[in-house]
């Protein structure tokens, strides 16, 4: 009875966690900031405050502490070099932003790591659900009540919905991830029908809001992630590894043949689509300027700041920004972190699709500089670590019983187990 009560208490949702959920949802509303502190930063730090005492109990073997311990000194060196040699490009306040990301991501990991996987999953799901409802409400509020909320604009240039964000990238990063969090919720067999209906409604809301953001990068992110998700679902219906390899090989061959046949038409379509975006072709000029940035300091970069086109603009690409910030060393650290992250998520592969949109959006925006990026990453890491531990504990028990069964069970039962 006591064990059952303890399990039920562990599965209950902690009311305090609403602060983290709401803080994540409103994190793109950067128009409300005073300097670099807005409602999202305040609420998330308030939630994290309870776990400051546990900060030094972190193990350097854990993914997030190890990454930040390696990455922060590199970009700090880059910032110091940039302030000395290219002062106009340096951004010491940008360095503080990444120190903040390091702090809150480690504290979120600490705060969630001792929870059950069901509790962590509920927090993640609530972020997805509330994002859809909140930003659809703000959209209709801006259309039928006021263009402003508490004096803050809800649209960018009058044509792109931002929901209180300074620019569309901030909202697009969260909405893309929230859309697939809702889709994962729909695919979760442990959820009730009522919960799935709510997630389906929220997913539709997220998709509608995504369209109103009018971001070509977000469109690509959704298409790519959805394609991978459908591919994942199709593989799940195949039972053996050889069948999955055959299906993957056939798909790659068909895809390659289609590209070979329609490559000219496909190239024309992609080029026209890029040109239809006001910033489309200009982005390629910005991307091409990475060589000049690396020549300034290819080893550990120039730290956060404006480094594109000889220090006049950001790269609008997370991976080029990371390369410019941290040079070859910093970029290598980030790639190693990403590989370890995706490897950890293979414990429950469907959770990958809450993270893939964050990384995919980085191809056209600096998603790694968004607060929601590191919050969601921290939640997913805590969930995956706990899930891995649960599976390990579960596998240990059958192995012990199997050893006993080999000594006592009947042959046919032993063969079955």
**Predicted local confidence at residue 113, as pLDDT:** 87
Helices and strands in the chain: count of H runs, count of E runs:
17, 4
pLDDT at 24: 97
Mean pLDDT within 205-211? 97
Q: For 256-292, what is each residue's pLDDT tens digit?
A: 777 777 666 666 665 565 555 556 667 778 888 999 9
Answer for the pair 186, 329: CB distance below 8 angstroms, yes or no: no
Q: What would the mean pLDDT of 9-23 be, rounded to a whole number?
A: 79
**The pLDDT of residue 71:** 97
pLDDT, mean over the chain = 86
Per-residue pLDDT, averaged over 363-368, amounts to 89
What are the residue ranges spanned by the domains of the chain? 18-393
Whole-angstrom distance, CA of residue 302 vs CA of residue 214: 32
Q: Read off the pLDDT of each residue in 237-257 and give the average, rounded to a whole number.
A: 77
Q: How confident is the model at residue 245 (pLDDT cuts 50, 70, 90)?
A: confident
Q: pLDDT value at position 204?
A: 97
Model-level pTM? 0.87
Q: Would you state the torsion angle of the CA atoms of residues 183, 188, 193, 194, taken in this order, to the nearest 10 degrees?
A: -60
Contact assessment for residue 358 and residue 177, using Cβ atoms and an 8 Å cutoff:
yes
Q: Distance between CA atoms of 204 and 32, rounded to whole angstroms?
A: 27
With 60 as the cut, is the pLDDT of residue 60 above it?
yes
- pLDDT confidence bin for 255, thresholds 50/70/90: confident
State residue 12's pLDDT score: 57
Neighbours of 65 (CB within 10 A): 18
Q: How far is CA 24 from CA 65, 135, 238, in A?
A: 21, 13, 37
User: What are 165's two structure tokens?
Assistant: 């964000």
| Pair of tokens at residue 66 | 């190890």
Kindly state the percentage of the chain with pLDDT values over 70: 86
**Which residues in 140-159 are b (16+ Cβ under 10 Å) and which e?**
eebeeeeeebeebbbbbeee
Q: For position 195, what pLDDT does the model report?
A: 92
Helix runs in 237-288, H state only: 241-276, 280-288
Of residues 19, 314, 30, 38, the one with CA closest to residue 170: 30
Q: Which of 153, 101, 177 is nearest to 357 (CA)?
A: 177
Mean pLDDT of 77-101: 92
Q: What is the mean pLDDT of residues 389-406?
A: 56
pLDDT of residue 172 exceeding 70? yes
Residue range 287-306: average pLDDT?
A: 91
Residue 2 has pLDDT above 90, yes or no: no
What is the DSSP track for 163-175? TT-SSHHHHHHHH
Cα–Cα dist 266/191, whole Å: 41
In this prediction, residue 162 has a pLDDT band, given cuts at 50, 70 and 90, of very high
User: Comparing 275 with 10, which gets the higher pLDDT?
Assistant: 275
């Amino acid at each position: 009875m006591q064990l059952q009560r303890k399990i039920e208490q562990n599965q209950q949702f902690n009311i305090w966690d609403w602060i983290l959920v709401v803080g994540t949802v409103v994190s793109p509303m950067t128009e409300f900031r005073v300097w670099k502190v807005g409602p999202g930063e305040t609420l998330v730090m308030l939630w994290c405050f309870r776990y400051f005492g546990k900060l030094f109990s972190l193990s350097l073997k854990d993914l997030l502490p190890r990454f930040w311990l390696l990455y922060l000194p590199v970009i700090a060196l880059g910032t110091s070099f940039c302030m000395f040699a290219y002062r106009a490009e340096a951004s010491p306040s940008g360095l503080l932003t990444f120190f903040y990301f390091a702090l809150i991501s480690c504290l979120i990991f600490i705060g969630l790591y001792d929870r059950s996987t069901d509790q962590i999953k509920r927090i993640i799901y609530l972020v997805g659900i509330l994002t859809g409802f909140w930003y659809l409400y703000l959209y209709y509020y801006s259309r039928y009540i006021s263009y402003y909320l508490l004096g803050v604009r809800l649209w960018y240039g009058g044509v792109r919905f931002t929901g209180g964000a300074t620019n569309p990238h901030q909202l697009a990063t969260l909405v893309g991830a929230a859309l697939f969090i809702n889709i994962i919720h729909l695919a979760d067999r442990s959820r009730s029908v009522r919960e799935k209906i709510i997630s389906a409604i929220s997913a539709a809301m997220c998709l509608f809001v995504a369209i109103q953001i009018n971001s070509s990068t977000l469109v690509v992110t959704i298409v790519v992630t959805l394609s991978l998700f459908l591919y994942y679902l199709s593989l799940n219906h195949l039972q053996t590894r050889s069948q999955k390899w055959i299906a993957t090989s056939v798909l790659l061959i068909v895809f390659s043949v289609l590209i070979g046949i329609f490559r000219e038409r496909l190239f024309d379509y992609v080029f026209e689509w890029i040109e239809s975006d006001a910033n489309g072709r200009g982005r390629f000029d910005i991307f091409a300027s990475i060589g000049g940035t690396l020549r300034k300091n290819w080893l550990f970069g120039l730290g956060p700041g404006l480094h594109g086109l000889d220090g006049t603009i950001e790269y609008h690409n997370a991976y080029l920004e990371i390369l410019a910030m941290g040079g070859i060393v910093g970029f290598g650290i980030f790639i190693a972190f990403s590989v370890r992250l995706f490897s950890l998520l293979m414990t429950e592969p469907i959770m990958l699709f809450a993270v893939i949109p964050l990384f995919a959006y980085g191809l056209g925006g600096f998603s790694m500089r968004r607060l929601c990026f590191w919050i969601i990453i921290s939640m997913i890491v805590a969930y995956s670590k706990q899930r891995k531990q649960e599976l390990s504990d579960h596998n240990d028990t059958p192995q012990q019983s199997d050893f006993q069964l080999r000594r006592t069970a009947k042959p046919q039962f032993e063969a079955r187990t």
